[in-house]
Amino acid sequence: MPVSNVVKQLTAALTSGTVYKGSLIEGATSGSRAVVAEDLTAAGALKFYPVRGGAFTGGETLTIIYEPTAGSAAGFAVNATPAEQFTEFPSLSMRFIEDGQAITVAGARGSVSFNFEVNRPVTASFTFRGSLNSTDDQALIAGVSADAPASPPIWQGSAIGYAGNETSALADLDDELEPCLTALSLDLGVTLSDRRCAAASTGLEEVLGTARAGTGSMDPEVTLEADIPWLSYLKNGTTTRLRVPVGSSDGNRFTFFMPGVQFTGQSYGDRDGIATYDLPFNLTGGYHHNVAGGGTQLDVYGGDNELVLLYHVS
């Protein structure tokens, strides 16, 4: 879902001690990491925020590599069948003040889309639905100074990686091709549904994200099929992967990774006399590949990895 702190849970075996909220844990087998969302004092449901990798492996040992409170359990284990699942999709409250009029919206959930255009910053557009909580008049806010963050990175100098993703034979970084793009759009396509209830004060209990169908489109230059087989992949319904870096300095650098790109159509375009394809696609999720480490094929993550956004800090 398009939120940064989705909560997941699994069943954990804990024999002694306490795993405290805020602890950073790592799976000895999967290498996945997560931040614990609630204290765990006995065997049972472990709630956490995933921060790296995919699902934990059944039976593996979870090691606490950072603890906010001294005296945490040294290590504990995931049960043989972890049954990892999402448990929460946090909502958002918003307050808008314009020309003396204040509007408050509560319990909002939404979706996000990204727009890439060469030589420009990548933009994210959020769409929210929620309950209109209150409307009133409010004095204009004064004395607020804006932060001065680093300038957003420009989409240029981006070594885009593209390859088929249905076989480990193409899992290495050397197997990736570098298409020439000037535009790319991504939409997570979360379906928002109103949970209406007469018992709720506004008649709306909450807004739920009931489905997700990610889509996108891109405009590569036309190439020979021997160079990049765009039309062959379209004809055969082949699932491909796309890796799009943005920025070059740690702390201001991102990688958008789509392990499942499946084209749904094709038309020709023209970019100042240069032939291009217009290629819409679905985001299906699929295999993650450790492309920088020799092409080791990792696990399939249950369709919850249509878009993986990495923030590079070191």
pLDDT digit string (tens) for 88-144? Answer: 677 888 888 888 899 998 888 899 999 999 999 999 999 999 888 888 998 887 888
pLDDT of residue 219: 95
pLDDT exceeds cutoff 80 at 235 = yes
pLDDT exceeds cutoff 80 at 169 = no
- Asked whether the beta carbons of 113 and 186 are under 8 A apart, the reply is yes
When pLDDT is averaged across residues 238-243 and rounded to a whole number, the result is 91
Task: Please work out, in degrees rounded to the nearest 5, the angle formed at the alpha carbon of residue 188 by the alpha carbons of 313 and 296.
Answer: 55
d(CA 254, CA 152) in angstroms, rounded, equals 11
pLDDT exceeds cutoff 80 at 3 = no
* DSSP bridge pairs for 246: 254
Question: Which amino acid is located at 299 in the chain?
Answer: D
pLDDT of residue 304: 67
Question: Which amino acid is located at 58 in the chain?
Answer: G
When pLDDT is averaged across residues 186-198 and rounded to a whole number, the result is 90
Quickly state the pLDDT bin for 77 (edges 50, 70, 90). confident
**Which residues, 6+ apart, have CB-to-CB distance to 160 below 8 Å?**
178, 179, 181, 242, 243, 244, 245
pLDDT exceeds cutoff 60 at 284 = yes
Proportion of the chain in helix, strand, coil states, percent, rounded to 5 = 5, 50, 45
d(CA 66, CA 40) in angstroms, rounded, equals 15
Burial 283-298 (b: 16+ CB within 10 A, else e): bbbbbbbebeeebeeb
d(CA 284, CA 261) in angstroms, rounded, equals 6
pLDDT of residue 119: 95
CA-closest candidate to residue 249, choices 310, 206, 312, 163: 312
d(CA 68, CA 66) in angstroms, rounded, equals 7
**Dihedral pair phi/psi, residue 204, rounded to 5°:** -125, 110
On average, the pLDDT of the chain sits at: 84
Residue 49 exposure: Cα atoms within 13 Å on the Cβ side? 14
Domain 161-312 CATH (choose: 3.10.450, 2.30.110, 3.40.50, 3.30.70): 2.30.110
pLDDT exceeds cutoff 90 at 154 = yes
pLDDT of residue 300: 43
Task: Locate 15 and state its tokens.
Answer: 């024999």
CA-closest candidate to residue 118, choices 161, 153, 163, 162: 153
* DSSP bridge pairs for 132: 105
When pLDDT is averaged across residues 139-158 and rounded to a whole number, the result is 84
pLDDT of residue 299: 44
Residue 291 exposure: Cα atoms within 13 Å on the Cβ side? 20
- Exposed, middle or buried by CB within 10 Å (0-12, 13-18, 19+), for 218? buried
- Asked whether the beta carbons of 68 and 104 are under 8 A apart, the reply is no
Quickly state the pLDDT bin for 178 (edges 50, 70, 90). very high
CA-closest candidate to residue 60, choices 19, 10, 17, 24: 10
